Structure 1
């Protein structure tokens, strides 16, 4: 089972929630017409995105590097004593996070001239074993352009993820 992941930009979480309510939680990128500008990034979850951010910042990856704020599902998460049911949206997804501005701004500030070197560092990540710079560069460039447009529009980046 693969992880389906889309990254997109939106003006605010309320617009994202409204879109998800209208599409029964489906990716805003698959709506007709697409609700927001974004990039299909199958398999690039928050860990893999965090490895890209670490490569750009030339720092070690940390679990909290791309921690965001959950915007979907909108129902409260079960507590430690809560019992998940088989149709519990927290167990079944999809899930959407608003990524921190640090992620958007880090991606947006990557100079075009350094993109190949950044991607070369990124492909060293264990999760990307076997990926070449040439195969992953289009996605990295889409994420960088998306972040620049989000920053220019004073919007945030969001991650939609489904199993």
Structure 2
């Protein structure tokens, strides 16, 4: 198995949608329409194994000095092989190239992010996130996701 991480392309939209939808159906990721994925394809990276999309993640800019990792997922059968960490590294490299020093995520997989150098923080320190996405979320008043942050050089 040779998994390659690369920038997503328009031809990835259907596979991205399928992977994200599988997580959304479990209530652990926000759904994304094909149209929204196509519009934001430049923010996504994918992990690919022999032409098959097996992972994805994106960066969403929340301010001049803050981005969020979102839609981070791995296809069944590929978890636990370091692919998620490689994608996080790629996303952090992208934030670094854009000179954005803070990378955050809201997650149920706290140990994974801690293993990748993030620390747990109070989600209220991200008003950019609260007013961008949380204000429209069904879980707004009972959010059970944990906020994590990594400050990069």
TM more than 0.5: no
The structure with the greater share of residues assigned to strand is: 2
TM-score normalised over the length of structure 2: 0.28
